[in-house]
Amino acid sequence: KDNKMYVYYTGNVKHIGNYDYINTGREHNTIMVTSDDGIKFNDKICLMKNTDYPDDLTLHVRDPQILKNGNHYNMILGARTKEDVGCCLLYRSEDLKNWKYINRIVSKQPFGYMWECPNLVKFGQQTILFCCPQGVENQGYNYENLYQNGYYLINGDIEDKYELSEFIEFDHGFDYYAPQLFVDENKRVIIIGWMGLPDVPYSNPTIDKGWQHALALPRELTFKNNKVYQYPIEETKKLRREKQVINLQKSFVLKNNCFELYLPINNQEFTLRLRNDVVVDYHNQLLTFKMKESGYGRDIRHIIIKEVQEITIFSDSSSLELFINHGEYAFTTRVYDHSSNLEIDVKRDIQCIYYELNSYKII
């Protein structure tokens, strides 16, 4: 604002001692810093402490997002009540520094015990709340991950009276969480997700080498048919090398594991094998993704899809990102296999489009 950067984040403090870190022993402070150049930042300002939030909340209040709303600003925070019900808090400010609590965003029925990483975005008149609920129990093929990522459609005024839709899952893969939204200079809504998940039973072999996790490809969001679609941003095409048209009635050996693969499915059942032991199977309107050794504990996930018209796969050294029906559904996972196993095999005659991809270079 006015050529100055305003940065908001959660000052997370865990005190040493015999605490449960839910109702005792923790601080979640909302902090603001400013900068004129994005390099040097002014002193931190603590805007709110746990004692400033509503009395019925635990110490879990975090992840501020700020957005302009007419002539004022809103801040949304994820929260957990003392009754272990997830929700969001909505604040209002005229100056970006002094914030007043004005409303609470809750679902019709309790849905998990904590809503992390809330993001609000508008498509025309439709307001959408993205968040990551923790503590949602698995329901058949729904909510198979330990923690969820997805969104609610909001009908009404978030500052007054509103109603949330049912929760809609966003990315169904093993490794997608805590996405953040922004609107770029071309008015595109872009989302970037963390290619990881906390507290999961599976592992990453790179821990022994001192690193793990990554960020997913930046994806542009569109809204149609009352659903959010996601697809890698247009700039991703700049990574493409020579285009190849491949007939997959037989297995195809790749040159490397960094590629983009487009598969026109035309609503036919199929079984696709790629990398070391990854299998993508679609039968009876059920898409199944499974792997064994290369998943390091990642095993199987499902998506119920009435029709699969097309799939685009982005493969990198240790990741796979699948986009079904040009982003109607998405699936992101880490995969750790041997680079010598570069083969695609599909149990159908499909003419696909394949691009080997260059690595992205930060200038």
Sign of CA dihedral 140, 146, 149, 150: positive
The answer to whether residues 128 and 255 belong to one domain is: no
User: Of 169, 185, 202, which one is at a domain's C-terminal end?
Assistant: 169
> Is the same domain home to 246 and 345?
yes
d(CA 332, CA 171): 7
- For residue 234, the SS3 value is helix
Which contiguous run of DSSP H or E holds residue 177?
Answer: strand 177-183
Residue 200 lies in a domain: no
Q: Residue 37 is which amino acid?
A: D
Tell how many helices (H) and how many strands (E) occur in the chain. Answer: 0, 29
Q: State the CATH number of the domain containing residue 299.
A: 2.60.120.560
pLDDT score, position 255: 76
Length of the chain equals 363
Structural domain that includes position 293: 239-357
Domain endpoint, select from 169, 200, 226? 169
Q: What is the dihedral of CA 84, 87, 92, 97, to 10 degrees?
A: 60
pLDDT at 276: 87
Task: Judge residue 16's burial from the number of C-beta atoms within 10 Å of its C-beta, 0-12 exposed, 13-18 middle, 19 or more buried.
Answer: exposed
- Is residue 261 a part of any domain in this protein? yes
263 with 343, same domain: the answer is yes
Cα–Cα nearest to 322, from 297, 354, 293, 289: 289
Residue 55 lies in a domain: yes
Same domain, 19 and 149: yes
d(CA 20, CA 22): 5
Say yes or no: 144 and 23 in one domain.
Answer: yes
Q: Which of 144, 169, 194 is the last residue of a domain?
A: 169
pLDDT computed for residue 339 by the predictor: 67
Q: Are residues 246 and 335 in the same domain?
A: yes
> Do both 158 and 259 map to the same domain?
no
Asked if residue 154 is part of any domain, the answer here is: yes
- Output the pLDDT for position 363: 62
The strand ranges marked E within 225-324 are 227-232, 240-247, 252-253, 259-264, 270-274, 278-283, 286-290, 300-304, 310-316, 319-324
Q: How far apart are CA 251 and CA 274, in angstroms?
A: 9
Which pair of tokens denotes residue 229? Answer: 């679609």
**Amino acid symbol at 73:** Y
CATH, residue 110: 2.115.10.20
**CA quadruple 66, 175, 203, 301: dihedral positive or negative?**
positive
Local confidence pLDDT in tens for the 363 residues of the chain: 999 999 999 999 999 999 999 999 999 999 999 999 999 999 999 999 999 999 999 999 999 999 999 999 999 999 999 999 999 999 999 999 999 999 999 999 999 999 999 999 999 999 999 999 999 999 999 999 999 999 999 999 999 999 999 999 999 999 999 999 999 999 999 999 999 999 999 999 999 999 999 999 999 999 999 999 999 999 999 999 999 998 877 777 877 889 999 999 999 999 998 888 999 999 999 999 999 999 999 999 999 999 999 999 999 999 999 999 999 999 999 999 876 667 788 877 888 999 999 987 766
| Residue 193 domain flag | no
Domain match, 250 and 152 both: no
Same domain, 147 and 245: no
Residues of the chain by 3-state class (helix, strand, coil), percent to 5:
5, 55, 40
User: Is position 181 within any domain?
Assistant: no
Asked whether residue 159 falls in the same domain as residue 286, the answer is no
3-state class (DSSP) for residue 164 = strand
Question: Could you tell me if 342 and 256 are in contact, meaning their C-beta atoms sit under 8 angstroms apart?
Answer: yes
Residue 175 lies in a domain: no
Write down the pLDDT at residue 326: 97
Q: Is residue 353 part of a domain?
A: yes
- Domain tally for the chain? 2
- Residue pair 259/252 in contact by the 8 Å Cβ criterion: no
